Amino acid sequence: NQNYYAAGMMNEQQLNQVSSALYSYCKVMRVPKLGAAPVVITVLEGVAITLVTAALGVKLWGAVAIGVIITALFAFLCWLTYRYRSGAARRLNSYLAADGGRRMVSDFALAQPFADDQFRLGREYLFIKHGAVLRINSIADIVRTNTHYRMMPTGVFLSVDVKDENGSMTFPLCRVHMLRAGAEVEEIRGAVMQRRFLKYRAMEKMKNGQVH
């Protein structure tokens, strides 16, 4: 019953159901720990590529150079993945520490889906499918990125710039349809920024009320 959700009157069973749906939707995990495995795998991959390249007739120095380049690229991708997951997990943990996650779960119950349900927009939080949970008042901007292959457009993507107590970070948000990218981008940016403005105004009213 959405009236109960809106009023924050969910019982424990309802809270658990929505909480389960939230974690299934966002799949936010604990802060990952860096062990020896990623380093070993990266080194072994570089060695394997070097040996295979040399076996194909490439000179040893050339094979080593190729192996080093691919190893560096793989290590960079691993670092990006770790940074994204750890940033998402830290933010989630800070929200849970505030009130046990009740406000976040209640907000998810009423959140509106966008871009074929690639993300949902609530009153206080933005929920990215298979990604992070972000506070709306921490969103600094919505950034558009166009991808190309040999001068041909291949996709239009949006990401979210976030600035909060955990630092600055960019999270991938969604992919929009190329044929109507302009309209979809404006719709999404307008909805998110309007929600951010409303949240900011509500916080200002609360602050002024406390002062008086």
Per residue in 72-123, pLDDT (tens digit) is 887 777 777 777 777 777 888 877 777 667 888 889 999 999 999 999 999 9
Can you tell me which residue has the tokens 């019953």? Answer: 1
pLDDT in tens, 1-18: 444 444 456 777 888 888
Residue 40, token pair as written in the block? 């070993």
- pTM, two decimal places: 0.73
CA distances from 61 to 26, 50, 52, 70, 173 (A): 45, 9, 13, 14, 42
Q: Domain 111-212: which topology?
A: PH-domain like (2.30.29)
Q: Structural domain boundaries of the chain?
A: 1-110, 111-212
Say which range, 24-28, 37-41, 45-49, 80-84, has the weakest mean pLDDT.
37-41
Q: Which helix (H) or strand (E) holds 176?
A: strand 167-176
